[in-house]
Amino acid sequence: MTEYAKGLEGVIANESALSDVRGQEGSLSYLGYHIDDLVEHCSYEEVIYLLHRGKLPNAAELESFDKALRAERSLPQGVIDFLHSAPKDGNPMDVLRTGVSMLGLYDDRVAIGEPDMEKDAAIALSVVAKVPLIVAAFHRFRQGLDLPEIRRDLCEASHFLWLINGQMPTDRAVRTLDVALILHADHGMNASTFSARVTVATLSDMYSAITAAIGTLKGPLHGGANEGVIHMLQEIGGLDEVDAYIEGKLARKEKVMGIGHRVYKVLDPRAPHLRKLAVALTEELGEPKWIKMSERIAEIMKERKGLNANVDFYSATVYYSLGIPTDLFTPIFAIARTSGWTAQVLEQLRDNRLYRPLTLYTGPQEFLPVPPIEQR
């Protein structure tokens, strides 16, 4: 019997070249490129290319890739009809999960069984392009608004902000979201990536894998954490109330959202980038309240518990400052992570093996007699 590891903690289940998460060092890289350098020198589109193609593009390759990605900005009429009919108060993650699943019904390239890597790569690109459209369309429709004209002259970050707001975003807003998308693109064998790889390892299809990943990301212990951060800040109310609120949380041994990380034992390498953006954005908007509250919470938790703020802690303030509704925080996480999920699925298919871990049985060891029903 192999050693039991609850939650598979510490168990190596596969090989991957896509992202390297070094928890003890507080380091993250994609295919050997450190996240700091990618944020400094690359766009989100370049990172999608890197994850899908295994290398950074040159100018000509990026232009061709951008054109192909933007050409996929359309939704089948059946999906649009569903987004119109979905409950206006529905959870956007539920709508996204269902919308992505529906996409598979309208894609005649989809097949189960032995993979066709060329077709799967094309489907992966299509999914990356369509997920933001589903999120934006539902957000507009639930307000009784039409979706603005889909454009092919805007980058991914700019286009999404255009779609949800119906007006052109500022350069700072575009840059801020672009960096957030880069930082969330991939992150090792996290729970949703594991779901995607387990699903496609059965030789199911890309849409099934991404649907499974979205369902996994929805949970508050994974992607839903950033929504919890802004709810916490709203509950606190103001900077003067932070200390008492956090002391109360600590006294009751309750979790403080956005603090600590399952993998990183030091500072989450993504957090400083989003903190910097949050500071700049709130200064530009003249509304520093949320970032000041966040900074005080982070300070207390570092002093009292030795824990650092993670990426969710500052992404919440960034998205809120961009005017994005709280219930779209996790869908934006999904938009970014779709580039990583699809890349992970393609990698899984290139050297596939079905995931089939064991379980530690804790039931009766001796067979029990089955009494007649009238004696039970």
List active site positions. 261, 312
Is the Cα dihedral 88, 89, 92, 97 positive or negative? negative
What DSSP character marks residue 73? -
Q: Which residues pair with 33 in a beta bridge?
A: 30
Rounded to the nearest 10 degrees, how much is the dihedral formed by the CA atoms of 45, 277, 263, 36?
60
Which residue type occupies 110? V
SS3 346: helix
Sequence-ordered alpha helix ranges (H) in 31-155? 35-41, 44-53, 59-71, 77-85, 92-103, 117-142
* Paired tokens of 69: 């990605």
- Between the alpha carbon of residue 254 and those of residues 25, 76, 247, 270, the distances in Å are 27, 45, 10, 25
- In the block, tokens 């994974």 appear at 222
Cα separation, 341 vs 75, in Å, equals 20
Q: Are 103 and 207 in contact (CB under 8 A)?
A: yes
Q: Are 204 and 294 in contact (CB under 8 A)?
A: no
Backbone angles phi, psi at 123, to 5 degrees: -65, -40
Reported as half-sphere exposure (CB side, CA atoms, 13 A), residue 157 has a value of: 22
Interacting residues of 362 by C-beta distance below 8 A, sequence separation 6+: none
